[in-house]
Amino acid sequence: MPGEEHASPSLRAARVSSRRSALGSASLAARPSASQSTSPTSEAAAEAVKRADRELGSLDMVIANAGRSDTRLATRLTWQDVGPVIDLNVRGAMATLVAAIPVFVAQQRGHLVGVSSLAGIRGLPTSAAYSASKAALSTFLESLRIDLARAFIRVTDVQPGFVATPINEHAKHPTPFMVPVDTAARHIVRRLERAPAVLAFPWPLVLATRFARLLPAWLYDRAVGSQSGHV
């Protein structure tokens, strides 16, 4: 959801040789860092993946965890609010994933993981850019999953709800079913071992968002409109 991961750098490339090493990568990916406002160029992402491949010997998994959320009522929205969110959440994440594809195609195996959000299921109040960016990443991952199956490359869309990063802990909007960072990291690690197409959690919020997807527009608007605040 908005601000749930507020990512660390957009690239997380790891050779997962043990449960412990996988957990270390996932924990890092879930923690915020000072570089959350930057997004890599496609060239920088490609070089980072190649460097990781050289240094580690090979890559089993690449995790693109890019997240920035600037909540803003649409009547006050400017491109200065939207642009950075799209640059990091969409361009940064996609550049990382695309850079890893040639490496995995060459070795005829690999696992691409993108961290989107349950906020991408439907548009949320005051979160137009964030919801749209995560919806875009989810759709991108779904297409990759279909295209890359014959190349023996697995693709997982991680859709977290609210994770207890410092940003969410001080959020002014509701953060139901908030999950501690370490709990979220361990859950992701355990589930990624099976390479599911979609890894969504926590389950109460997953059920709520799946139900919301079924609502007609007029009913959904009425249900969540009160959270928009004043124009």
List the beta bridge partners of residue 199. Answer: 158
Cα–Cα separations (whole angstroms), residue 164 to 34, 176, 184: 17, 11, 9
User: How far apart (Å, rounded) are the C-alpha atoms in residues 125 and 118?
Assistant: 14
User: How far apart (Å, rounded) are the C-alpha atoms in residues 231 and 91?
Assistant: 30
- Reply yes or no on whether 220 is catalytic: no
Catalytic residue among 63, 121, 130, 153: 130
Which DSSP state fits 34?
Answer: G
What is the full DSSP assignment across 190-219? HHHTT--SEEEE-HHHHHHHHHHHHS-HHH
Catalytic residue positions, numbered: 130
